[in-house]
Each structure stands twice: as C-alpha cells, then as structure tokens.
Amino acid sequence: MNRPTISNCHMVELPRIPYRAGNITTVSNEQEIPFAIRRIFYIYDIPGGVDRGAHAHRTCHQFLIAASGSFEIELDDGMAKRTVMLNRPYFGLHVPPGIWAAEKGFSSGAICLVLNSHLFDEGDYIRDYADYLNFVGPSSLDPSVQI
C-alpha cells in the first residue's frame, strides 16, 4: 500500500436543507463520508491561542466539521504540509489514517465536531512527531487500512 499523503485529505460539501427557521445538514454513514461512523465527539470552549490535535492515527479515519465558528487544520504527511480552513457547517474535511493533523486558530465560540471510524483506542494515536516520521516511512502503514 502507498503511504498516505495530504492529497488523500479532501473537503466534502454536505447536503443543506434550507428552511425559513434555519438550515439542516445531514450526515449518513458511508454516504457523505467514506466510512461508517463509530464515534462522535466535539471540542468547544477552546481558550484563545490554544491548539488541538497534533497527532496522527494508525487506523482511524476522521471527518472534521466546524459546527460553529472557524478554525484551521494543518495537515502533514511527513513530506508536505497544507493548511485547510473550516468555517462553514456544511463542509467537512476527511483525514485518513497516517496523516498528522493539528487544529489551530479557533475563533471565539468555535465548535469542532469530529466523526470517527473507530472507537477511542489510545494505541491508535501517534502523539510524538518523531514517532510519526518513523511510522510513515516505507511500508509502515498497516496494509489493512484503506485510504
């Protein structure tokens, strides 16, 4: 299997149902996002100047949405970097396993909604960047992981 790159991360426009009293956006398993959702969490009340994330996953896919406000996600595949701004609740970013991601620049009142392909498993996290660079070396990604 080829190692993941930042080009494997992509923005997805989610469906919007407009109503006079407010819009609705829906997300369904394996339809708008390329995996079945096993876990959902959200990050909120983020103090100004605080960054989140700064880790990679061995097998877990993530899909991030700015449910409120805005923030940036710095993507890194060990060779290239790209920064993506999330600022509309009907767009999300798919981050496959093997990509180092860090959320930064949260606006006041921002809410980061995260949909995961796996339940929480501390062993799936790579939290040290030097360990990450070893992980993304040649033939290091678990061959069962689909990107």
Model pLDDT for residues 47-91, shown as the tens digit of each residue = 877 888 899 999 999 999 999 999 999 999 999 999 999 999 999
81 occurs within a structural domain:
yes
In a domain, 143, yes or no: no
Q: H-type helices in 6-86, by residue range?
A: none
Does 140 fall in a domain? no
Question: Are residues 118 and 59 in contact, defined by beta-carbon separation less than 8 angstroms?
Answer: yes
Query: Residue 45: which residues within 8 A CB-CB, separation 6 or more?
Result: none
In a domain, 146, yes or no: no
Within-domain flag for 147: no
Tell me the whole-structure pTM to 2 decimals: 0.88
Q: Domain containing 117 — which CATH number? A: 2.60.120.10
The token pair at 10 is 């992509």
Q: How many domains does the chain have?
A: 1
Percent of the chain with pLDDT over 90: 77
CA–CA separation, 71 and 56 (whole Å): 18
Domain limits for position 61? 6-135
With a cut of 50, say whether residue 147 has pLDDT above it: no
Across residues 15-19, what is the average pLDDT? 92
For residue 127, the one-letter residue type is: R
**φ/ψ of residue 122, rounded to 5:** -55, -35
